[in-house]
Chain A
Amino acid sequence: MADYTAIKYNVPFSKAGSLKLITTFTSDGSDATATFASGVDSTYKEYLFIFNSIHPETNGVYFQVNFRDGSTNYDATKTTTYFRAYHDEGDTATSLEYTTGGDLAQATGNQRISDDLGNGNDECCSGYLHLFNPSSTTFVKHFIARSNTYHSSDYSVDVYTAGYCNVTAAIDGVQFAMSSGEIQGGTIQMFGVL
C-alpha cells in the first residue's frame, strides 16, 4: 500500500489556484448586452469579473453594469461612488476628482464602470469588478471596480467605482452594457474566488 505522501494524481494541480473560471463572454461585434444570467449563486463568496479591451460602437459612451435581484430585470437599487484620475495625451489637463454625474443614489439604472469611452479603432477600456457574497439574503451586496479608459478625447482615465445593491434579496445575475450603442469588441470573464 502506498503511503499518503506518495499518492500521485492525474489532475493537473499546476492549474489549481484561487480563481475558477465560470464563463467567458466574447463579443461577437454587435452585442447589446453581456449577460451573466446563471452561475451567480452561493457557490462562491466572491465573484470577479475581468473585462479586457471592451470596445464600443458609439463614441463617448460609458461601459456599465447592473444586477438582477430575483426578478427578470437587471435593476437592483444601488447607491454608489465614482471617482477618477485623468491625464490627456497633450499634457494639458490632469485631475483627481469625484464625479457626481457618475454615481447613483438609490437608483435602479446602470452604473458606469468606465469613463467616456472612445470608439476609435484602437480605443477601449479594461479592468475588473468584484462582487461580494451575492447570495446573501441578510445584507446589502457590495461591489468594487477599477478600470482604465481610453477617453473619447484622448485621455487616460483611471476609474474607481464602488457601492452596494441596497437589497437583501440574492443577486443572481449580472449584466454589462454600453450607455448607448453596442459592445463591439472585448471579453468579460466571470471567476469564482475560492
Chain B
Amino acid sequence: MANYHDIRYNFAIGSGADVGVMKLIKTLTASSSGTIDFVDGTSDVVLDSTYRTYIIRYINAHGSANANLTIQFNAAGQSGFNETMTTTFFRALHNEDDTAASVGYVTGDDIAQGTGYQRLAQTGNDNDQHVSGEVWLFNPSNTTFVTHFIGRGVEAHGSDIAADCYVAGYVNATAAVDEVSFKMDSGDIDSGTFKLYGIA
C-alpha cells in the first residue's frame, strides 16, 4: 500500500499563492424578488479588493411580467443603486417563425451619464421564458479609475424571439463599487439563480 505522501497526481496542485481561480462566492435564488442584491460584507458576500475581477452569472431569470432584467451598482459608503454610467447595448435577434433576423445597436437601451438601471436582456413571462447570461466587473475596488463592466445575455423574448444581447460600459466614478443590484424593470424576478464569482 502506498503511503499518503507517495501519492502522485496527474495534475498540478498550486501552492495556494499561485492558484488563481474562479471561486464561487455567493449564490442567490430569486423567489418573487423585487431585487437581487450582492452587498459586500452581507450574507458572506465578498465584493472588494479580495478579487480583481468578478463575474456574475444569471441563470433562468424569469419575470412576473414581460420585462427587462436590469443591473445597477452602488459605491462604497453611499446609499442607493444610482451610480452614473455610460453604456452601450446591441443585440442579434431571430424570431421563431423565421421572419425577422438582424443585428444592431439599440439606442433606447443604453445610458449616457444616467443613474438608472441598465438593461441586460428581456424576458417574456410565459412559463418557459427567461434570460440567462453573465456580467464581468473589472477592478471594482479601485479608487483611481472608472469601473468597467461587460455583459452578454440571451433572452427568450415575450414576442417569441431569441436575442443575443451585448452590454458594456463604465461606472463613471472613482469610488469603489461594492454592491450590485438586479431587478426587472416591471414586476418581480419570479425565479432564477444569480451566482457571484471572484477571480483572484
**Which residue numbers of A lie inside 8 Å of B, CB to CB?**
1, 7, 11-12, 14-22, 50, 52-53, 55, 85-91, 94-96, 121-128, 146-148, 150, 154-158, 185, 187, 189, 191, 194
Q: How far is the CA of A148 from the CA of B16 in the complex (A)?
A: 31
Q: Chain A: which residue is nearest B53 at the CB level?
A: A50
19 more A-B residue pairs beyond the given contacts A87-B169, A124-B148, A127-B138, with a C-beta to C-beta distance below 8 A: A12-B19, A17-B21, A20-B18, A21-B19, A21-B20, A53-B148, A85-B89, A87-B86, A89-B86, A89-B113, A121-B144, A122-B145, A122-B174, A125-B148, A127-B150, A128-B136, A156-B88, A156-B169, A189-B52
Q: Chain A: which residue is nearest B172 at the CB level?
A: A89
B88 contacts A52, C-beta separation under 8 Å: no
B138 contacts A20, C-beta separation under 8 Å: no
Q: How far is the CA of A63 from the CA of B126 in the complex (A)?
A: 44
19 CB contacts below 8 A, A to B, read A12-B19, A15-B16, A21-B19, A22-B18, A52-B52, A52-B138, A86-B88, A87-B111, A88-B86, A89-B86, A96-B103, A124-B145, A124-B148, A127-B138, A148-B149, A157-B88, A158-B150, A158-B169, A191-B199
B105 contacts A96, C-beta separation under 8 Å: yes
Among B6-14, B73-81, B180-188, the one that faces the other chain is: B6-14
A52 contacts B90, C-beta separation under 8 Å: no
Which residue of B113, B174, B199 has the most chain A CB atoms within 10 A of its CB atom?
B199
B20 contacts A19, C-beta separation under 8 Å: yes
The yes or no answer to B46 lying at the interface (CB within 8 A) is no
B19 contacts A16, C-beta separation under 8 Å: yes
Q: Chain B: which residue is nearest A190 at the CB level?
A: B20
> Shortest beta-carbon distance, A99 to chain B, in Å?
14
Pair count A-B, CB < 8 A: 145
A96-B105, A185-B144 known; A20-B14 Cβ under 8 A: yes
Give the chain B neighbours of A156 by CB distance below 8 A: 86-88, 168-170
Q: Which one of B13, B145, B200 lies within 8 Å of A53 (CB-CB)?
A: B145
Q: Chain A: which residue is nearest B22 at the CB level?
A: A17
A95 contacts B21, C-beta separation under 8 Å: no
Q: Chain B: which residue is nearest A17 at the CB level?
A: B21
Q: Chain A: which residue is nearest B88 at the CB level?
A: A85
Closest 10 A/B residue pairs (Cβ): A21-B20, A17-B21, A91-B112, A126-B138, A158-B168, A126-B148, A96-B105, A85-B88, A52-B139, A148-B148
B142 contacts A53, C-beta separation under 8 Å: yes
Q: How far is the CA of A189 from the CA of B138 in the complex (A)?
A: 12
Q: How far is the CA of A28 from the CA of B146 in the complex (A)?
A: 19
> Shortest beta-carbon distance, A56 to chain B, in Å?
12
> Shortest beta-carbon distance, A26 to chain B, in Å?
10
| Interfacial residues of chain B within 13-54, with CB under 8 A of chain A in the complex | 13-14, 16, 18-23, 52-53
Q: Chain A: which residue is nearest B12 at the CB level?
A: A20
> Shortest beta-carbon distance, B78 to chain A, in Å?
17
The yes or no answer to B178 lying at the interface (CB within 8 A) is no
Q: How far is the CA of A50 from the CA of B87 in the complex (A)?
A: 20
A50-B199, A53-B138 known; A123-B150 Cβ under 8 A: no
Q: How far is the CA of A96 from the CA of B86 in the complex (A)?
A: 15
A52-B53, A126-B139 known; A20-B20 Cβ under 8 A: yes
